[in-house]
């Protein structure tokens, strides 16, 4: 009797092992199918060009799979409201205006998601000299980021802002020739949890020779440093028509973090983006 029970137990164990083995095979097969599906997913194209350009820039669109077909359209200020058809991409092309490029990949009648990229022609040919030292982590698009016509938004981690740690921000714009000024704006960001505070005040100066500057206006900050909301402030002034070749912008550092902050005594940033003059 005991031998019979033992034999039956061994038989049951073998059956269960066989079932588990079958389940394992099915699981592996399902995983392989999933991996295969992911591998076969159509990866969207990559659009490359200079984000900021002077006169023109070459646009290249590429796909991960050489056999894919790429389709695209371009939109600029002159045709943004026009209905346009997607064109098959065959070779790089040149744009000379601020342009948005949209593209997708098609493979065996299946389409990838649409991707969009924007490329901006510089709105002016001014020069800018920054007298403060920008933090290497927060340089935005480089030298012309503050006068490129692209205004940073509240999501500062996207990299559209320049950051200056523990110091005033000071820069001089050279218009290349005398310009009649009536309106000046510079924009700053506050996110005190990330050590970014709006400056205490901003001053604007004008000059014809880059040596002798005279004060145009001073604008004080009216946003509480304790305000937890991530926000921006435009320091804007309207002045009587003033002719100048150079404009100096000076934003004053708010100082180290106050006692109420969890990082009391730490240095703070000035985050600045677009400087607009007209």
First to last CA, the chain: 103
Please provide the DSSP assignment of 216-237 as one string.
EEEEE--S-TT--S-EEEEEEE
From 121, 144, 165, the end of a domain falls on 121
Q: Is residue 36 part of a domain?
A: no
pLDDT of 201: 98
Mean pLDDT of 119-137: 95
Please provide the DSSP assignment of 152-186 as one string.
P-S-GGGS-SEEEESS-EEEEEEEEEEEEEEEEEE
Q: Are residues 102 and 177 in the same domain?
A: no
Q: What CATH number does residue 143 fall under?
A: 2.60.120.260
Q: Are residues 84 and 141 in the same domain?
A: no
Q: Is residue 158 part of a domain?
A: yes
Candidate from 19-23, 77-81, 193-197, 236-240 with smallest mean pLDDT: 19-23
Q: Are residues 132 and 270 in the same domain?
A: yes
Which of 194, 200, 203, 256 is CA-nearest to residue 223? 200
74: domain range?
A: 46-121
Q: Are residues 177 and 214 in the same domain?
A: yes
Query: Are 151 and 223 within 8 A, CB to CB?
Result: no
Q: Are residues 136 and 93 in the same domain?
A: no
Displacement of CA 15 from its chain's centroid (Å): 60
For residue 263, what pLDDT band results from cuts at 50, 70 and 90? confident
Q: Are residues 142 and 92 in the same domain?
A: no
Q: In whole numbers, what is the pLDDT of the chain averaged over residues?
A: 87
Whether the predicted pLDDT of 13 surpasses 60 = no
For 63-119, write each residue's pLDDT tens digit: 999 889 999 999 998 776 778 899 999 999 999 999 999 999 999 989 999 999 999
Q: What pTM does this model have? A: 0.77
Q: Are residues 76 and 213 in the same domain?
A: no
Higher pLDDT: 39 or 52? It is 52
Q: Are residues 182 and 219 in the same domain?
A: yes
Residue 134: Cβ-neighbour burial (10 angstroms; 0-12, 13-18, 19+): buried
How many of the other CB atoms lie within 10 Å of CB of 275?
Answer: 20
Q: Is residue 20 part of a domain?
A: no
Q: Are residues 220 and 107 in the same domain?
A: no
Alpha carbons within 13 A on the beta-carbon side of 189 = 25
pLDDT of 40: 62
Q: Are residues 147 and 184 in the same domain?
A: yes
From 99, 121, 143, the end of a domain falls on 121
* Number of domains forming the structure of the chain: 2
Q: Cβ contacts of residue 226 below 8 Å, gap of 6+?
A: 192, 260
Which of 128, 193, 147, 140 is CA-nearest to residue 164? 140
Query: Are 253 and 221 within 8 A, CB to CB?
Result: no
Left, alpha or beta for 210 (phi > 0: left; psi -120 to 50: alpha)? left
For 153-176, write each residue's pLDDT tens digit: 999 999 999 999 999 999 999 999
Residue 12: Cβ-neighbour burial (10 angstroms; 0-12, 13-18, 19+): exposed
- C-alpha 185/C-alpha 216 separation (Å) is 12
For residue 262, what pLDDT band results from cuts at 50, 70 and 90? confident
Q: Are residues 52 and 99 in the same domain?
A: yes
From 103, 121, 139, the end of a domain falls on 121
């Amino acid at each position: 009797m005991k031998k019979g029970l033992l034999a039956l137990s061994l038989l049951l164990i073998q059956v269960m092992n066989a079932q588990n083995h079958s389940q394992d095979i099915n699981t592996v097969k399902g995983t392989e199918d999933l991996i295969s599906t992911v591998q076969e997913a159509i990866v969207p194209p990559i659009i490359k060009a200079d984000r900021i350009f002077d006169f023109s820039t070459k646009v290249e669109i590429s796909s991960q799979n050489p056999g894919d077909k790429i389709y695209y359209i371009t939109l600029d200020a002159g045709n943004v409201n026009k209905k346009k058809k997607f064109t098959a991409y065959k070779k790089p092309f040149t744009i000379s205006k601020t342009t948005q490029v949209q593209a997708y990949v098609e493979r065996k009648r299946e389409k990838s998601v649409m991707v969009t990229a924007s490329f901006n022609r510089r709105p002016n040919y001014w020069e800018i000299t920054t007298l403060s030292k920008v933090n290497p982590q927060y340089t935005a698009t480089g030298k012309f980021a503050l006068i490129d016509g692209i205004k940073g938004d509240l999501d500062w981690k996207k990299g559209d802002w320049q950051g200056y740690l523990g110091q005033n921000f000071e820069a001089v714009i050279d218009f290349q020739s005398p310009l009649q000024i009536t309106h000046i704006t510079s924009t700053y960001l506050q996110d005190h949890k990330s050590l970014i505070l709006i400056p205490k005040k901003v001053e604007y100066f004008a000059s014809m020779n880059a040596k002798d500057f005279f004060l145009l206006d001073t604008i004080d900050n009216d946003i509480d440093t304790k305000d937890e909301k991530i926000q921006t402030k435009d320091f804007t002034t309207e002045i009587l028509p003033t002719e100048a070749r150079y404009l100096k912008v000076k934003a004053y550092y708010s100082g180290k973090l106050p006692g109420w902050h969890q990082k009391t005594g730490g240095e703070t940033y000035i985050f600045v983006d677009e400087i607009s003059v007209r």
